[in-house]
Structure 1
Amino acid sequence: MAEATDTHAPDQDLVRALRALSNPMRLQLLAWLRDPQSNFSLGGAIADPDEVGVCVTHIQARAGLAQSTVSAYMAELERAGLVRSTRVGKWTHYKRDEQRISELVTALGRTL
């Protein structure tokens, strides 16, 4: 007897996002970025956190992790389409991609 094939394989973008969010710290970073003014000490910020995002230096200070670890976590969130990065001078700033997050939540609802 042949096994039935699943014609509705999970969306790979959704799988990538869920994998990125499976790490508790990456999930926390994304949550903090929802309201940067409340969640980060932005003294000395060189760009508007609501427009451009939060500098990795500020994220690192809040998380209490090494800069390289924070950069790796943010890169994973960016690959998953959950955040966007912008360079301002030599600093990288991260901002949530609200449209993409909304699309992923909708896709998750359809999948489950």
Structure 2
Amino acid sequence: MLRTPADGTRLRILAWLGEPGTAERGLTADDVAARLGVSRPAALTHLRLLDSLGLLRPAGDDGGPRYRRDEIRLAEVTRLFEKGW
């Protein structure tokens, strides 16, 4: 979890997923790749890592899963860091 890229890519993905519209719709790996200007495999790597940490919830399979934030898990992690973990 602490292996964050220097450019903050995963934080940007989480922030983007919190925006109105995107939060409801979710994002595919293709969406992330296009927005960030990275390859689809690179986008998938970021999404899968966030998913493995429990910060995202994938759903659906038509053209690949759409990822949404897991707001409960994000709140738990935020509280841990606020407590100085």
Moved over 4 A (4+): none
Question: Given the two structures, how large is their TM-score scaled by the length of structure 1?
Answer: 0.64
The separation in 1 between residues aligned to 2:80 and 2:9, in whole angstroms, is 23
Greater Rg by CA: 1
| Aligned twin of 2:59 | 86
Listed as ranges, the gaps of 5+ residues in structure 1 are: 1-15, 41-48
Where structure 2 has 5 or more consecutive residues not aligned to the other structure, the ranges are none
Question: Counterparts in 2 of 1:6-45, with a 5 A limit?
Answer: 16=1, 19-20=2-3, 22-23=4-5, 24-35=8-19, 37=21
Structure 2 distance, partners of 1:30, 1:73, is 10
Matched positions, count: 83
> CA 1:36–1:66 in structure 2 vs 1: closer, same or farther (change >3 Å)?
farther
Counterpart of 1:75, as a letter, is R
Matched, 1:106 2:69: no
Share of identical aligned residues, percent? 25
Question: How big is the shift at 1:36?
Answer: 5.4
TM-superposed CA distance for 1:111, in Å, is 3.5
